[in-house]
Amino acid sequence: MSAHHASTEVVPRAKRHFKSNAEKRRIVAEADACTRPGEVGLLMRREGIYSSNLSNWRQQIRLADASALEAKKRGPKPNLELAQARHVEQLTRKNVQLQSQLDQALLIIEVQKKFLC
């Protein structure tokens, strides 16, 4: 019976603690409010975070705030592949047109050379 008991034993694993956006904002605000030396370190130890967490969260907050202020485009999102295909088609038609004009211009120049000589 001891073999069965040993196989069902649960090994404790360290759990990661995920912070919600509200918690991140609260911690960053508290860190920004710290004025005395050592207060930020005390806050980080109390919350169980590293200084890199604070810098990453500050950057995330800046980007989120900046994107929240951007104007949102209305309507359906553009299909980039379709737009690129249309652009290539347009450039191909323009290339054919210019090649035709070039051939015509070269023919005219050739006729003028023969006429003047």
Residues 99 and 60 in one domain: no
Report the pLDDT value the prediction gives residue 73, as an integer from 0 to 100. Answer: 80
Instruction: Supply the range of the domain harboring residue 50.
Output: 18-70
Residue type, 13: R
**DSSP code string of 63-78:** HHHHHHHSPPPPSPPP
Contact 46, 73 (CB under 8 A): no
Is the confidence at residue 76, as pLDDT, over 90?
no
Residues 93 and 53 in one domain: no
Q: Is residue 11 part of a domain?
A: no
Report the pLDDT value the prediction gives residue 4, as an integer from 0 to 100. Answer: 52
Report the pLDDT value the prediction gives residue 67, as an integer from 0 to 100. Answer: 85
Is the confidence at residue 62, as pLDDT, over 80?
yes
Is the confidence at residue 65, as pLDDT, over 90?
no
4-48 residue pLDDT tens = 555 677 667 767 778 888 999 999 999 999 999 999 999 999 999
Question: Encoding tokens for residue 6?
Answer: 């040993």
Q: Is residue 95 part of a domain?
A: yes
Mean local confidence (pLDDT), 64-92: 89
Burial class (CB in 10 A: 0-12, 13-18, 19+), 44: middle
Residues 64 and 84 in one domain: no
Rounded to two decimals, the pTM is: 0.49
Residues 22 and 65 in one domain: yes
Report the pLDDT value the prediction gives residue 6, as an integer from 0 to 100. Answer: 54
**Per-residue b or e along 101-117, where b marks 16 or more CB atoms closer than 10 Å to that residue's CB:** eeeeeeeeeeeeeeeee
